[in-house]
């Protein structure tokens, strides 16, 4: 029976440590600040933004909210971002996705300064991650790495399989595992014989968006299983991993909810504090 990796508890530890660092920054005259831009009335986005602002309060980060209705134009969003780029008291800028229909995320996001891109989505930050340089790393895979580290298992030389190759989860996840010397395989919707590949994984990360698709017979005995998926169904919220069966096979497993989700926000706080430290050291 697998040990449950408690993302809520680990996120709380990360935030407690950040709170101390924020107090030290404030003593030196720097108040870390995160600007959050929300456009439209997507209920899930509203909840995510509310949770991010709540976490800022917990850690002592100042949050600035910019809310627009779905009739907002790309130009209005870009002007807001550019004003925030110029504001020396703002450390991080986050645009909650998805944007309302008809607005190009790429066109809008590219205006966020690389130095304030605390989501780690910009081509410069993704490029720096690929090159192994210091950068803002995407929050969800960073959080997954912390959860894997919490097991105490050495990643070096392990077979890691990532299911999913999105720009915000799967690809950066694979790069982060590679940077820690795992042997990494990335699977996607065109992958043949998925189960044969996943069964070889010492570390298995599922970031697909398909309700409980990873079953026990796809998992190696003793594997670490990290479930990024968040699938809202009529029965409730489920991950990409069939937790009930897989927990009998894995050595460690993350639950949904209470696994990766809380870590994503904690890593956003970490990136904002990192940016504030950069401001202090300029
Ligand atoms: P995307 O839809 O962008 O990517 C899904 C990936 O899964 C794609 O690479 C796709 O392949 C692959 N895929 C789809 N079907 C299959 C299949 N049958 N077999 C193997 N691979 C498949 O999703 P995201 O990466 O943005 O998110 C993934 C999940 O993680 C979602 O449930 C999302 O809600 C959740 N999420 C959770 C977060 C958290 O904080 N907990 C944060 C971000 C996401 P292809 O590229 O070929 O299309």
Count of alpha carbons within 13 Å of 32, Cβ hemisphere only?
Answer: 29
Read off the tokens for 119: 């989501």
pLDDT average, residue stretch 136-148: 98
Looking at the structure, do residues 144 and 242 belong to the same domain, yes or no? yes
Give the per-residue pLDDT at 65: 97
The percentage of residues in the chain with a pLDDT greater than 90, rounded to a whole number, is 100
What does the mean pLDDT of the chain come to?
98
Q: 198 lies in which domain range?
A: 139-261
Angle at 165 between CA 120 and CA 187, to 5 degrees: 150
Looking at the structure, do residues 191 and 256 belong to the same domain, yes or no? yes
- Name the residue of 47, 105, 121, 169 whose CB sits within 8 Å of the most ligand 1 atoms, as the mutation to test its pocket: 169
Expressed in angstroms and rounded, the spacing between residue 173 Cα and the centre of ligand 1 is 12
Nearest CA to ligand 1 atom 8: 164
pLDDT digits (tens, 9 = 90+) for 94-123: 999 999 999 999 999 999 999 999 999 999
Q: What count of other Cβ atoms lies within 10 Å of the Cβ of residue 258?
A: 15
Give the per-residue pLDDT at 150: 98
Give the per-residue pLDDT at 125: 98
Expressed in angstroms and rounded, the spacing between residue 204 Cα and the centre of ligand 1 is 14
Helix (H) or strand (E) holding 205: strand 203-206
CATH code (residue 243): 3.40.50.720
Q: How many independent structural domains does the chain possess?
A: 2
pLDDT average, residue stretch 186-196: 98
Q: The tokens 């299983």 sit on which residue?
A: 225
pLDDT average, residue stretch 212-230: 98
Give the per-residue pLDDT at 149: 98
- Name the residue of 49, 94, 166 whose CB sits within 8 Å of the most ligand 1 atoms, as the mutation to test its pocket: 166
The torsion of the CA quartet 157, 158, 163, 166, rounded to 10 degrees, works out to: -40
Expressed in angstroms and rounded, the spacing between residue 166 Cα and the centre of ligand 1 is 6
CATH code (residue 92): 3.40.50.10860
Give the per-residue pLDDT at 282: 83
Looking at the structure, do residues 65 and 174 belong to the same domain, yes or no? no
Looking at the structure, do residues 154 and 83 belong to the same domain, yes or no? no
Residue at 270 is within a domain: no
Residue at 132 is within a domain: no
Give the per-residue pLDDT at 103: 98
pLDDT band at 54 (very low <50, low <70, confident <90, very high): very high
Give the per-residue pLDDT at 204: 99
Q: Which residues are catalytic?
A: 52, 96, 119
Residue at 16 is within a domain: no
Nearest CA to ligand 1 atom 48: 189
Residue at 134 is within a domain: no
Expressed in angstroms and rounded, the spacing between residue 242 Cα and the centre of ligand 1 is 16
Looking at the structure, do residues 252 and 175 belong to the same domain, yes or no? yes
Q: Which of 113, 148, 167 is the endpoint of a domain?
A: 113
The percentage of residues in the chain with a pLDDT greater than 70, rounded to a whole number, is 100
Index of the ligand 1 atom closest to the CA of residue 208: 7
Please list the residues that pair with 252 across neighbouring strands: 3, 224
Residue at 11 is within a domain: no
Looking at the structure, do residues 101 and 152 belong to the same domain, yes or no? no
Give the per-residue pLDDT at 8: 98
Q: Which residues line ligand 1 (CB under 6 A)?
A: 140, 163-166, 168-170, 187-191, 194, 207-210, 228-231, 260-261, 264
């Amino acid at each position: 029976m697998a040990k449950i990796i408690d993302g809520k508890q680990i996120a709380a530890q990360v935030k407690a440590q950040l709170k101390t660092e924020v107090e030290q920054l404030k003593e030196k005259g720097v108040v870390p600040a995160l600007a959050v831009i929300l456009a439209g009335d997507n209920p899930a986005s509203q909840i995510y933004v509310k949770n991010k602002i709540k976490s800022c309060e917990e850690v002592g980060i100042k949050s600035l909210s910019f809310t627009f209705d779905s009739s907002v134009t790309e130009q209005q969003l870009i002007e807001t971002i550019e004003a925030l780029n110029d504001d020396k008291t703002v450390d991080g800028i986050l645009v909650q996705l998805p944007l309302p229909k008809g607005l190009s995320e790429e066109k809008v996001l590219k205006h966020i300064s690389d130095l304030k891109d605390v989501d780690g989505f910009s081509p410069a930050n993704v490029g720096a991650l690929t090159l192994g340089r210091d950068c803002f790393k995407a929050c969800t895979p960073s959080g997954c790495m912390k959860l894997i580290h919490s097991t105490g298992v050495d990643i070096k030389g392990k077979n890691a399989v990532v299911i999913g190759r999105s720009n915000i989860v799967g690809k950066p996840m694979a790069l982060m595992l590679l940077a820690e010397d795992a042997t990494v395989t990335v699977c996607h919707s065109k992958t043949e014989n998925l189960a044969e590949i996943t069964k070889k994984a010492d570390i298995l990360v599922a970031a697909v968006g398909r309700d409980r698709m990873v079953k026990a017979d796809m998992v190696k005995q003793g594997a670490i299983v990290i479930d990024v998926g968040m699938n809202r169904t009529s029965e409730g919220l489920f991950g990409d991993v069939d937790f009930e069966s897989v927990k009998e096979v894995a050595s460690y497993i993350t639950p949904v909810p209470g696994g990766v989700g809380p870590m994503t926000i904690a890593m956003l706080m970490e990136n904002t504090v990192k940016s504030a430290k950069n401001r202090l050291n300029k």
